[in-house]
Amino acid sequence: MPIDINWQLLMPELVIASTLLLVLVFDMVDALSKTVLGWLTLVGTGIALWVSVAMRLDNTYGTTFGGMFAVDGFSLFFNIIFLVSTMLVSLISINYLRGNSAERGRERRQGPYYLLILLATLGMMLMAAGNELIVVFLGLELMSLSLYVLAGYFREHSVSSEAGMKYLLLGAFASAFFLYGIALLYGGTGTTSLPEIAAAVASGSSSPLLLAGMFLLIVGFGFKVAIVPFHQWAPDVYDGAPTTVAAFISAGPKAAGFAAFLRIFTETFQNLQPEWSGVVILLAMLTMTGGNILAIAQTNIKRMLAYSSIAHAGYVLIGVAAANQEGVSSAMLYLLVYCIMNIGAFTAVILARTSTGERLALSAYAGLGFRKPLLALFLTVMLLSLAGFPPTAGFVGKFYVFKSAVQAGHFWLVAIGAVNTAISAFYYLRVVVTMYMREPAGEVDVAPYPRTLLVGLVLAAIGVLLIGILPSLVLNSAQNSAL
């Protein structure tokens, strides 16, 4: 039987694919400045964002490819998260890839960089809209393979090559768990279609194969979104990867992993909630506590943000554990907020670099509040948002995640989340104290701000403050888009 394809439903993905092809063609024109590729990526992603928002407002929903690809409010909301993240990362990459006086020679390699960014974005969009486990797996691998190359993109740096290799080996290990889980689910239900699996579960099917497959999916997703105890790759990859790539990995791919996680577990496995909710609650507690405690011991700001990212995955798991519509919508809101503020924090780290390289040691930020007051102010906003202080978006995200858990009766989980929020404030505020209350050991190198990096940081700060003051701007959309 021929499959009827509704191309209108695929417009955001088609725009990204078209942008990818244009970047490939323009990259072959040697006379053209490679900086144009960054702007082309930015414009194409912006058009895809506009299309996704228009489809969301017009309720252009449906399924295509024989029901394997579902376009609904949920997938379109996550498209917005992915595309906003990609736009911010593309914007800050334009100046970053030129390098500084100690890091010349990168301009010729901008083409593959933006191609990989777009391929990873396309994979994320497939994951969010996948209504079939095979489609989710294809999106996962398209995203992951692109990220492995991006993590080791600066091959002349041994730490970048090491980051790419570690990410590849552990990522392949996680993919094997995920694929084996799909095989067991197929053995238990006879299908890989999410609606058909949900129907089998609703009919009372709970074979050992089904349960084993479900828990292997948790392991596979656990690696991809870096939750304890599957987090070991994150600090080394974030530290060794180019900083713009670390920002990208910490944002969109994490949201994509949770998008598939939410669709599969809160919709497909809804009737098996008693079997998996206890595991998710335990993982949320371990992830929040482990990430925050390990972050305290870090003296490198990129590794600190890596462990912070792990802890934030634990906060999202609180919304997953709530397993209700409020929990799903709060997790979606939190992921949007997290992506903006985390990319903003990494952008500030890039802007703080000197003529000799990036300023990664926390002690190197001493006196930054007086030598670079504008940068220190923006970095402070991002850190306060990550810590969950009002009136930032981080506070709004945590508030609604905790609220959903209280409504589900998980009071101990909320208490542990609140304690961890207090713990996280220590290492975030430590950076602020260092910037404003410590004298620098030597002369602080004050370099001019690259314009695209500064614009990216300003946009992230505006987003963080605007959502913090007017949360209804995105909260209502998240609630209407929840599964």
Q: What is the pLDDT of residue 47?
A: 95
- Mean pLDDT, the chain, rounded, equals 87
User: Residue 448: is the preceding peptide bond cis (ω within 30°)?
Assistant: no
Mean pLDDT for the stretch of residues 135-163: 88
Write b or e for each residue in 159-173: b if 16 or more Cβ atoms lie within 10 A of its Cβ, otherwise e.
ebbbbbbbbbebbee
Burial 290-315 (b: 16+ CB within 10 A, else e): bbbebbeebeebbbbbbbbbbbbbbb
Q: What is the pLDDT of residue 2?
A: 58
Q: How many helices (H) and strands (E) does the chain have?
A: 20, 2
Q: What is the pLDDT of residue 104?
A: 43
pLDDT at 101: 37
- Most confidently predicted of 64-68, 154-158, 279-283: 279-283
Q: What pLDDT, on the 0 to 100 scale, is given for residue 396?
A: 92
DSSP alpha helices (H): ranges in 352-392? 368-371, 373-387
- CA dist., res. 48 & res. 102, Å (int): 36
pLDDT at site 99: 61
- DSSP helix/strand/coil, 48: helix
pLDDT of residue 3: 64
Average pLDDT over residues 218-237: 89
Per-residue pLDDT at 117: 94
pLDDT of residue 356: 66
Q: Would you give the distance in Å from CA 121 to the centre of its chain?
A: 11
Name which residue leads in pLDDT, 59 or 304.
304
- List the single range of 25-29, 100-104, 215-219 with lowest mean pLDDT: 100-104
Q: Which residue has the higher pLDDT, 2 or 302?
A: 302
pLDDT at 106: 46
Residue 124 pairs with which residues in a beta bridge? Answer: none
Mean pLDDT of 101-110: 51
Omega cis (within 30) before 373: no
Tokens of 393: 């978006």
The more confidently predicted of residues 259 and 157 is 259
Is 117 in a helix, a strand, or coil? helix
Residue 108 scores a pLDDT above 80 = no
| 397-449 residue pLDDT tens | 999 999 999 988 889 999 999 999 999 999 999 999 988 888 776 665 656 77
Q: Is the pLDDT of residue 483 over 70?
A: no
Q: Per-residue pLDDT for 148 more than 50?
A: yes
pLDDT at 102 over 50: no
Region 377-388: mean pLDDT is 92
Question: What is the pLDDT averaged over residues 121-145?
Answer: 93
Lowest mean pLDDT among 124-128, 379-383, 405-409: 405-409
Instruction: Check residue 146 and report its DSSP letter.
Output: H
Among left, alpha and beta (phi > 0; psi -120 to 50; other), residue 45 is alpha
Is pTM, for the whole model, over 0.75? yes
Is the pLDDT confidence value at 190 over 90? no
pLDDT for residue 241 is more than 80? yes
Amino acid (one-letter) located at 175: S
| 1 — pLDDT class (breaks 50, 70, 90) | low
pLDDT digits (tens, 9 = 90+) for 17-47: 999 999 998 888 776 777 888 899 999 999 9
pLDDT at residue 242 tops 70: yes
The whole-number pLDDT of residue 478 equals 86
pLDDT of residue 110: 81
- Say if residue 224's pLDDT is above 80: yes
From the list 418, 386, 394, 388, the residue with the least C-alpha distance to 405 is 418
Q: How far apart are CA 459 and CA 344, in angstroms?
A: 8
